[in-house]
Structure 1
């Protein structure tokens, strides 16, 4: 695979090379985006066969813009995770059109390979490009990642490590990697997914291995605080963020006691980066723009740590949000300083799944039920702590109106049970205001977890609620596939 990608900033040439090699675009070919646009653009939502996934462009633009504005004002960097949507179009929105720094993290090699043509365009425009492979690196992934690194150039691709074997693998099995390989130490702050604790023997073993390595260099330390999904208020979310940042700093200090001198191998080395986040803790920092005592305290903490390290936030699901994020209440529903600005409400959920009513059961059990032709392979099977269901039926086709709100009326249709292809709608609350359904009626539902709900769709149909016709499909974004 040595000559898999040419080492130049020509996306057309690279795309052609990818098509003739063992890479994701070849192994998992995508449908023609142009053909899909001919098929769907201009149609109404109600004309589309269900199930389908819809993204509201206006909502995701607002969510992306707010995240970038926040990190800029706080003086920290931002790294966008692309695993939720797996599209180049949304990755561009996450980074920002005018940004000179393109920092990304991906969960599969496929995502990185599919990003490559655009990343080469960014390099040709003089932008800084840095993408992380977000799983502790496995030997079988190294050849394909090496090819991407050669195409993008030195220091453009970073790898996660949390075991000394990772360092030895890179020393021995990545001979074609350009320059030293930037590695990121995974630190465990209590989520117990990847990473090791600050004072563990394993962290010290990795530091010793890095010190002895000639092929790798320390670029940063990274943590993901997935258990922040359990929070229920802005205050609680900020407390988790502070714990995450302090725990990551503690891990960095312990690691650098052993491996600190290693960074001097790169004459142009910058501060070691501390990258923290999950969407609840990352979006909670948007509360720090308010002039409150708590906001000032946390801003001062970030500023202090930023003097020794380079603080970076990362997040993935925030552009589209979902019922799980709504349940965290990591931000208030509206901005305290600008009540007309929505921060975390149903109007900030940018992904909806189009489903169709397949049958009706008005007298089954103690509450009305209906069947939709969309179960776990469409909606996922991840619960939400705020209500007993798998998705909430929106008011659509009405622009707004009554619907089930876990913190409000608790009255409306929810997806209460799911099988593989079957979803059972259940009416919650008093039946005197029952929304009657008909077989063949299309509905739009808000899923629990956007990262999972979109997995089995090949593309997103894009609408724009800021236009005169929010029902009209304006674009189609093809999702990447594979590993």
Structure 2
């Protein structure tokens, strides 16, 4: 029997970490380290849940960005009776198992989708979790008829019918197939012929929505995504028909759409924005035949990539004091330390930090040529490099594996002078990658009297 990830990839003791870090301040911690601002992630999670509730659509939280139970709980909210999640590894599901069993004991509905077209080697572990959680709790992605054969051959390991989700490709060309493709029809025929699986929904990830630069563009991508899913579901059901089910909540086929830019773009529909009524009417119309749901993962912490999409305006149009997508909505910062200084380099002043790609990642950002932006911390001033503003300040201009090169951009008239040993907080380009090599997050809360004080430690799950 295969051992679950918590046994194969044991994590550092949470109790020991809390003894080490609780009560300390950011500046007391050895760099590099990852800091999450609890106030920011709570606000981002609450906004997503409030928006989807007001729009009458479902929401499915992706847990791959943070890989923690604590933030998963914030994503679904304390009041919900329906726990809908996406996970990119079996390990994520296995690590959530103790909490999910608590949710079931409380009478809550648990529904998790394994976020890749299912591979045969993962089926046994997924089936073990499904037996523990109950029939219909674990859904699987399919986009090839061979996936159905694999599921049929392992059906005796599963409790009841296996919910499958058809991956639709709406142009990103990662997983999935086009709505009118022969391959989609082949999968539909295989599902129709199988006694062991049932169609639960169709799903797409519109990763190319990261290229948008305004709320209007993001909403257009969202509409294209939703229409592509509707087309895919209609074409699938023409062949496969609808499977009977005793669960009244599963009677409608779910249309699950999202990447964070398109998922967060619907928050514009609660503002006085042009075209909001038209988009809401489209969602309402499709929701009559299907169950529309959004999914997203990086939105609780955000990052420089999300800031660059401008999927939401900086401030709410209805309430200008309310931030929607600005630097104040970035909940993850990486603590780094200055290792050396090079003020006389020919093109621009530079400095060395002991943090490269294994801390910050290598993903670029379309709004500037760098790998992270140095925040003003610990200074009270809000002066920092802004790709849409001053374009003056320190950025991570180049990276190697353990080395990062800071470069000063813009006029040097009011340069922020650095010292060797000085600690800095950096906003990374891509929060999902920046956290990968961190065993835990140190949590601070900017809504408290001391926003520098570490109030919690969240251990990241490991393994596959």
CA deviations over 1:224-269 (Å, ceiling 9, x no partner):
00000000000000000000000110111111100124x1255744
1:288 matched residue in structure 2: 269
Any conservation in 2 of the 1:154–1:178 contact (CA below 8 Å)? yes
C-alpha change, 1:361 and 1:97, in structure 2 (3 Å) is same
For residue 264 of structure 1, give the secondary structure of its aligned residue in structure 2: coil
1:461 matched residue in structure 2: 442
Structure 1 residue 401, shift from structure 2 partner: 1.6
CA deviations over 1:144-190 (Å, ceiling 9, x no partner):
00000000000011000000000010000232100000000000000
2:208 matched residue in structure 1: 227
Are 1:279 and 2:260 matched, yes or no?
yes
Cα distance in structure 2, aligned partners of 1:290 and 1:383: 31
Cα distance in structure 2, aligned partners of 1:152 and 1:302: 32
Which of 50, 56, 60 is residue 75 of structure 1 equivalent to? 56
Cα distance in structure 2, aligned partners of 1:202 and 1:228: 25
TM-score, normalised on structure 2?
0.99
Taking the TM superposition and a 5 Å limit, the aligned residue runs for 1:338-357 are: 338-357=319-338
Are 1:359 and 2:344 matched, yes or no?
no
2:155 matched residue in structure 1: 174
C-alpha change, 1:182 and 1:400, in structure 2 (3 Å) is farther
Any conservation in 1 of the 2:245–2:251 contact (CA below 8 Å)? no
Any conservation in 1 of the 2:272–2:317 contact (CA below 8 Å)? no
1:131 matched residue in structure 2: 112
Cα distance in structure 2, aligned partners of 1:247 and 1:215: 27
Cα distance in structure 1, aligned partners of 2:418 and 2:274: 50
Are 1:119 and 2:138 matched, yes or no?
no
For residue 336 of structure 1, give the secondary structure of its aligned residue in structure 2: coil
Q: Give the 4+ runs in structure 1 shifted more than 6 A.
A: none
For residue 241 of structure 2, give the secondary structure of its aligned residue in structure 1: helix
1:91 matched residue in structure 2: 72
Aligned length: 463
Cα distance in structure 1, aligned partners of 2:414 and 2:396: 18
CA deviations over 1:351-398 (Å, ceiling 9, x no partner):
000000000000012100000000000000000000000000000002
Are 1:264 and 2:277 matched, yes or no?
no
Cα distance in structure 1, aligned partners of 2:331 and 2:241: 43
Cα distance in structure 2, aligned partners of 1:246 and 1:240: 10
Any conservation in 2 of the 1:85–1:454 contact (CA below 8 Å)? yes
2:431 matched residue in structure 1: 450
Cα distance in structure 1, aligned partners of 2:133 and 2:247: 20
Cα distance in structure 2, aligned partners of 1:236 and 1:316: 20
Cα distance in structure 2, aligned partners of 1:347 and 1:369: 26
Are 1:394 and 2:384 matched, yes or no?
no
Cα distance in structure 2, aligned partners of 1:48 and 1:267: 51
Which of 78, 84, 88 is residue 107 of structure 1 equivalent to? 88
Cα distance in structure 2, aligned partners of 1:127 and 1:241: 30
Cα distance in structure 1, aligned partners of 2:241 and 2:5: 37
Structure 1 residue 290, shift from structure 2 partner: 1.5
Taking the TM superposition and a 5 Å limit, the aligned residue runs for 1:140-219 are: 140-219=121-200
1:415 matched residue in structure 2: 396
1:55 matched residue in structure 2: 36
Are 1:431 and 2:444 matched, yes or no?
no
Cα distance in structure 2, aligned partners of 1:126 and 1:98: 12
Any conservation in 2 of the 1:142–1:174 contact (CA below 8 Å)? no
C-alpha change, 1:430 and 1:198, in structure 2 (3 Å) is same
Cα distance in structure 1, aligned partners of 2:304 and 2:196: 44
Cα distance in structure 1, aligned partners of 2:307 and 2:273: 23
Are 1:243 and 2:229 matched, yes or no?
no
Q: Which blocks of at least 5 consecutive residues in structure 1 are unaligned?
A: 2-20
Cα distance in structure 2, aligned partners of 1:420 and 1:292: 44
Cα distance in structure 2, aligned partners of 1:266 and 1:171: 21
Any conservation in 2 of the 1:155–1:181 contact (CA below 8 Å)? yes
C-alpha change, 1:280 and 1:134, in structure 2 (3 Å) is same
For residue 61 of structure 2, give the secondary structure of its aligned residue in structure 1: strand
CA deviations over 1:290-327 (Å, ceiling 9, x no partner):
23441100000000000000000000000000000000
C-alpha change, 1:274 and 1:463, in structure 2 (3 Å) is same
Cα distance in structure 1, aligned partners of 2:16 and 2:286: 50
The 10-residue stretch of structure 1 (402-411 or 266-275) with the greater mean CA deviation from structure 2:
266-275
Cα distance in structure 1, aligned partners of 2:274 and 2:211: 24
C-alpha change, 1:171 and 1:399, in structure 2 (3 Å) is farther
Cα distance in structure 1, aligned partners of 2:97 and 2:247: 27
Q: Which blocks of at least 5 consecutive residues in structure 2 are unaligned?
A: none
Are 1:43 and 2:15 matched, yes or no?
no
